[in-house]
Structure 1
């Protein structure tokens, strides 16, 4: 019994690592074409296009919407959106009342 419990304790970090990050890490990894750990405007635009296509929307993405989202998400103004900034944006969004979302 103790060996089973020990095995579960030792396996917990691996299981946690396999789960998608709650900070948008999964989305970031998929959209980060150049692998630098951040989204630039071009990568964000492609992400918006992919999400629209998934909904069946083939209209071009409005660059003003991409710019507005980018400006809001890039909290430190370094020209890229990292996992921490995505997590902060998600937390702020989740804290809003449903009527404001």
Structure 2
């Protein structure tokens, strides 16, 4: 009989250690045109202090790089994808992307 075919051993997915820097996914967010809007980004782990950054913010919204708070009165409509990152004191980074829907009313 032919020799048995070896079964490949699955490679385990590395799990982050408790101290690893992470940026929580804020999930889909909704704001209304020209109305106050706030989205809070939250980092855990890593070595403080941390700094936040984001790309894809619609006109009228700004990010406070220290607090991780996105605030303002957005102009526009539709859905945009926001990519947020956080960097800690050691230079480690973590990121998350989420959808932001802007409604007229």
Greater C-alpha Rg: 2
TM-score class, shorter:
under 0.3
More helix, by proportion: 1
TM-score (norm 1): 0.26
Structure number with higher relative contact order (C-alpha < 8 Å, ≥ 6 residues apart): 2
TM-score (norm 2): 0.26
More strand, by proportion: 2
